[in-house]
Amino acid sequence: MPLAVTHSALSDIGRRRSHNEDRCCTDTTLGLFLVCDGMGGSKAGEIASGLAVETIHRHINEASQNAAFPMIGQSDPTISPSGNRLLSAICDANRVIHREGHKNPDWAGMGTTVVAVLLTNRLMSFAHVGDSRLYLVRARAIQPLTTDHSWVAEQVRAGLMTEAEAEQSPRRNLVTRALGVAPEVDITIGEAELQEGDRLLLCSDGLTKGVETARLLNVLTHTDDMIGATRRLVALANEAGGDDNTTVITIAVHEATEQPM
């Protein structure tokens, strides 16, 4: 039996920022879900994240209507056509942001993270650049499907820093990859088969900086109300200090004939 999804999305400025540099997109017709967290001076971060969302969405939409729509960048023979199309869309966004940054001096060096999901029947293709994250909740356990492209994450993986030290490091906001800062970008891609009852969480680091993974799991396993879950997660980020913008997309997977709450 085919699967369907219900979802909710919310982006919040937080308690300490003057503007919101996060952007997101949800398109259930395409099966596309995106979170981007921009960076750059003169409000260029929100320009970069906006360009990323706009470009990726447009690319996937046009490809859905035209099988001959050009691919950008190198394809990966180990993943599905849908996964390669997602790679192409993110490569497209990288080129657009990089080009616009060169054209406008106020936007020079701007960039953005991205975490993206593309659903094709039961197959989930997902990709990310930077430290925005994707989590899968299944059988009351939570699993990160992305690994941060950040300086502190690299130190932890190398055994040079503990998780606790990483959380306190003054370099914890330093990403090692971002869309738009260079002509080419290294995108991490993955795929997984979804099951009935799965929950997905896409988020910017405004959520994960202050909210423990156990609390994310608790929220996502104690309700079928994705709107309520999304609002609760944003509230938790603000209760933890609200130091950054927070963007959250929650997705519940169910059988297509089921009537979700």
Per-residue pLDDT of the chain (261 residues; tens, 9 = 90+): 678 999 999 999 999 888 999 999 999 999 999 999 999 766 799 999 999 999 999 999 999 999 999 999 999 999 999 999 999 999 999 999 999 999 998 898 899 999 999 999 899 999 999 999 999 999 999 999 999 998 787 887 788 787 777 776 767 778 899 999 999 999 999 999 999 999 999 999 999 998 999 999 999 999 999 999 999 999 999 999 999 999 999 999 998 875 444
Amino acid at site 226: M
Please tell me the pTM assigned to this model: 0.93
- φ, ψ at 132 (rounded to 5°): -75, 150
Tokens in use for 33?
């879900």
Beta partners for residue 7, in sequence order:
251
Res 42: pLDDT: 62
Res 261: pLDDT: 46
State the sign of the Cα–Cα–Cα–Cα dihedral 39, 43, 44, 49. positive
Res 41: pLDDT: 66
- φ, ψ at 117 (rounded to 5°): -125, 135
CA pair distance 235, 237, nearest whole angstrom? 5
Q: Are 96 and 105 in contact (CB under 8 A)?
A: no
**Extended strands (E) in the chain:** 3-12, 22-27, 32-39, 111-112, 114-120, 123-129, 133-138, 141-144, 188-193, 199-203, 246-255
Res 183: pLDDT: 95
Q: Are 207 and 248 in contact (CB under 8 A)?
A: yes
Tokens in use for 125?
């293709």
Domains annotated for the chain, with CATH where assigned, are: 3-255 (3.60.40.10)
| Cα-to-chain-centroid distance, residue 28 | 16
Q: Which residues of 177-208 are buried (b: 16+ CB within 10 A; e: fewer)?
A: bbbbbeeebebebebbebeeebbbbbbbbbbb
